[in-house]
Amino acid sequence: MTTAPAPVTVSASAPVAGLVPATGGGLPVGRIGADAGRDAVIAHLREGARLIRRSDIQMVHAAGLGHIGGEFSITDVLATLYLHVMKVSPDQVADPERDRLILSKGHAAGALYTTLAAAGFIPPDQLATFMQPMSMLNGHPDRKKIAAVEANTGPLGHGLPIAVGTAIAAKLDGSPRRTFVLLGDGELQEGSNWEAMMTASQYGLANLTAVVDRNRLQQGARVVDTNDLEPLADKLRAFGWEVVEVDGHDHGALLDVFAAVPAASGKPTFVIAHTFKGYPISFMRDNVAWHHKVPSAEQVALALAELETS
Ligand SMILES: Cc1ncc(C[n+]2csc(CCOP(=O)(O)OP(=O)(O)O)c2C)c(N)n1
C-alpha cells in the first residue's frame, strides 16, 4: 500500500448511440483549500457534489448498470473528503505520505469514479467507458487500473481490515498520513469489521477514521428488518472507538467533523453519517428499489432537473 501502481491507459470508447452522454456539466471542479474561507469551501463542495451526481446518474444510465441509490447517499462525504479534507491530489497520487481513502462499499464505485474525475484523478471522458469491456472503470474499484484507488473492494467487510493495516503502517512509520474508510451500514453485518475494530482500538489508531453511510437500507430491505445494528453508537464505543454522528448531506457539518478527527486522543474515530439512499432525488430518496435499479432516460431528465434546484 505504500506505492500506487501506474494507471492503465485505456482509450475512451464512444458513448453508446442513443444514450445520454456521461458528462458532469463542468467536471472537473478540483480541490479547494482552507484559505478560500468556510463559506466558499461549502459552496464549492455543494456545487461539486451536484456535478458529481449529475455525472453519476448519466453514467449509470449509459452503462445500464450501477448502484445509484447508495452512490447518491455517499456523494457528499466523498466530495468533502476529496475536494477539501484529504491531503492527496492528482500530482501526488503516488506520494507515500498522501492521505488514503478506501471505499469499502465497493459496489458504489460510480460515486468514487465521478468524484475522482471531479477532483482531477481520472479524465472525465473515461466515465463514458464505465462497465464496458477493457474499461478501467469496473463495477467495483480496481487499484491496478486506477492509481488513485487504494484498495480493491466489492466483497463487503474487507475495507476496514485493509484500512487498519494501512493505519498501522503509517503509525509504524511515524507518519502523519491519515486513513479514511467508507462503509455501508448493511456491510457492518459482516463480522470481519468487528475484528478489525478491536484491532484498531488495541493499537490506538488515532490516524484512522471510519465513516458509515447510515442510510438504513441495504440490498432489497431495510437494515432494521434484516440484522439490526442498534444501538450502533454504543456498540462502536464498546469496541474502543470514539463516535461522532453527523448529517451526511451537510457539507458544513462534515467539514467540522473531519477537522476535529481524531475526536479523542489515541483512539480511532467512527463517524456515523446519517444519509438517505438516492438523496436528494424525490423518487429515489429512502426507496429500497434504488439499490441497483437503472434510471430510464425520463428519470435521468427528472433527476437532473431536481439537481438544479436541490
Ligand atoms: C460479502 C458480500 N456479500 C454480499 C454482497 C452483495 N451486496 C452488494 S451491495 C449489498 C448491500 C450492502 O448494503 P449497504 O452496506 O448498506 O450498502 P448500501 O445499501 O448503502 O449501498 C450486498 C448484500 C457483497 N458485495 N459482498
Chain length of the chain:
310
CA 8 to chain centre: 22
Question: Cα(186) to centroid of ligand 1, in Å?
Answer: 6
CA 105–ligand 1 middle distance (angstroms): 7
Whose Cα sits closest to atom 8 in ligand 1?
107
Strand partners, 209: 180, 269
pLDDT digits (tens, 9 = 90+) for 41-84: 999 999 999 999 999 999 999 999 999 999 999 999 999 999 99
Kindly give the number of the ligand 1 atom that is closest to the alpha carbon of 185.
16
Q: Is the CB of 278 under 6 A from ligand 1?
A: no
What contacts 93, CB < 8 A, 6 or more positions away? 4, 121, 147, 148
pTM: 0.93
Residue to substitute in 103, 187, 223 for testing ligand 1 pocket (most ligand atoms within 8 angstroms of CB): 187
Tell me the CA–centroid distance for residue 131 and ligand 1, in Å: 18
Q: How far apart are the first and last CA of the chain?
A: 38
Domain range list for the chain: 34-309
User: Which 3 state secondary structure label does DSSP give 244?
Assistant: strand
- Predicted confidence (pLDDT) per residue in 102-152, tens digit: 999 999 999 999 999 999 999 999 999 999 999 999 999 999 999 999 999
- As given in the structure block, the three cell numbers for residue 243 are 463516535
The CATH number fitting domain 34-309, selected from 3.30.70.580, 3.40.50.970, 1.20.140.10, 3.20.20.140:
3.40.50.970
CA distance 202 to 194: 12
